[in-house]
Structure 1
Amino acid sequence: MLLRILWGFVGPRYARFAQFVRRPGTVLDYLGAMGNGSERRYVGHNPAGGAMVVVLLVAMAAAAVGGWLLTTDAFWGSPVMQHGHSLLAHGVLALVVLHLGGVTLGSLRHHENLVGAMVVA
């Protein structure tokens, strides 16, 4: 996770946050266009993909911090913390499934291999 955050600042052009983090209105407009099949093609992350990267990083960080807190004296065995950590961990899994679905949808709609582009780039 820390490596991906670092990569977002010093990595190649299309891996950098400055290239794909967009305003919420832009993301919502893109999602609306996806709904009616009129979304435009982007080189690099589209607005929805960029938002997903940020949401995944935040959710993974929250799950990691929650897991770590469960090892401390203050929260050891806390049912509330355990439940919160479990919700976050399952939420991350759900986000990963959504992300994979979005990559598949984008690949099919734009007739390109997005996974291959990530590996080659």
Structure 2
Amino acid sequence: MRLMWGVLGTPYARFSQFVRDPVTVLRYLSAILTGREARYIGHNPAGGAMVIALIAAVGSTALTGWLMTTDAYFGVSWVEAAHSTAAHGLLLLVFLHIGGVALASVRHSENLVWAMMTGRKRKAERTDVA
């Protein structure tokens, strides 16, 4: 569903709006450490990278889980290990995502959970990135 929403969804939900190059993501993460990250109206670079990472983790967890049900890979240790790694990685990403949302909510005095549910944030200010 998120893949379709990333192509057909509202402007701020589209991949074309928030998928950024690794240098931009690293610069943004560095700005977070100094407390000088910009407020984004849509996904910030770290949030965009997290969406891609979560989709990849869900996909790899599902693929390896399915492989474990097939005759060819049932009981194969490397498939089970890959599935376990993918599932634990997904949990880690979920916790990081929740932490990032909480941090951005506090730093920008904005309830991002509410914004995710309603699709509405406060209006852009002069220093915000659209």
> Under TM normalisation by the shorter chain, which class is it?
over 0.9
TM-score (norm 2): 0.90
Letter of the 2:85 partner, please give it: L
Question: Which aligned segments of 4 or more residues in structure 1 are displaced greater than 2 angstroms?
Answer: none
RMSD of aligned Cα (Å): 0.6
* Partner residue in 2 for 1:6: 4
Q: Calculate the TM-score normalised by the size of structure 1.
A: 0.96
- Find the counterpart in structure 2 of residue 69 from structure 1: 67
Where structure 2 has 5 or more consecutive residues not aligned to the other structure, the ranges are: 120-130
Tell me the equivalent position of 1:41.
39
Taking the aligned partners of 1:62 and 1:83, their CA distance within structure 2 comes to 12
Unaligned runs of 5+ in 1: none
Q: Which residue type is aligned with residue 87 of structure 1?
A: T
How far off is 1:44 after superposition? 1.1
How many angstroms apart in 1 are the aligned matches of 2:108 and 2:9? 25
Residue 122 of structure 2: aligned partner: none
% same residue: 56
Give how far 1:111 is off. 0.2
Distance 1:45 1:38 in 2: 16
Higher relative contact order (CA 8 A, sep 6+): 2
- Describe the superposition over 1:17-64 as per-residue Cα deviations: whole angstroms up to 9, x where unpaired: 011000100000000000110001100100000000001101110110
Counterpart-to-counterpart distance in 2, 1:16 and 1:114: 17
Letter in 2 for 1:99: H
Matched, 1:87 2:85: yes
Count of residue correspondences: 119
